[in-house]
Amino acid sequence: MPLPLFKLGAILAKQISKPMSKMFKEKAIQNEFFRNNVVIRIANWYHKFDINVRMRVLGLGSPDKVPPMTEKAAIDLGGDILAEFFVFGTATSLILFEYFRQSSNSKSKTDAFEIKVLEMEDQLEIYKKNSEENNKRIAEMSKFLQEQKKKMEEMNKELVKLDKRKNMKFATQATQTTNGTQIGKIIKPKNSSQSVNQDVKNSIVYQCAEDSANKLFK
- Residue in 132, 17, 57 with CA at minimum distance from that of residue 25: 17
Residue 93 covered by a domain: yes
Per-residue pLDDT of the chain (218 residues; tens, 9 = 90+): 445 555 666 666 666 667 777 787 888 888 888 888 888 888 999 888 888 888 888 877 777 777 888 888 888 888 888 888 888 888 888 888 888 888 887 777 787 888 888 888 888 888 888 888 888 888 888 888 888 888 888 888 888 888 787 777 766 765 655 554 444 444 444 444 444 455 555 555 556 556 655 555 55
3-state secondary structure of 97: helix
CB 82 within 8 A of CB 39: yes
Instruction: Say if 120 falls within a structural domain.
Output: no
Burial of 25 (0-12, 13-18, 19+ CB in 10 A): buried
At residue 10, the pLDDT reads 62
Is residue 23 situated within a structural domain?
yes
| 176 CB-near residues (< 8 Å, 6+ apart) | 182, 187
Find the domain containing 71 and state its range.
2-109
Does any domain span residue 186? no
Does residue 185 lie in a domain region?
no
CA 102 to chain CA mean position, Å? 28
Partner residues linked to 189 by β-bridges: 180
The predicted structure's pLDDT at residue 192: 44
pTM comes to 0.42
> Alpha-carbon distance 75 to 39, whole Å?
6
In a domain, 197, yes or no: no
- The answer to whether the CB of 49 falls within 8 A of the CB of 18 is no
Provide the domain count of the chain.
1
Q: Is 26:81 a contact under the CB 8 Å cutoff?
A: no
Any domain includes 105: yes
CA 103/CA 66 separation, integer angstroms:
47
Q: Is residue 196 part of a domain?
A: no
Helix runs in the chain, H state only: 2-30, 32-34, 40-57, 71-179, 198-216
Residue 149 pLDDT? 84
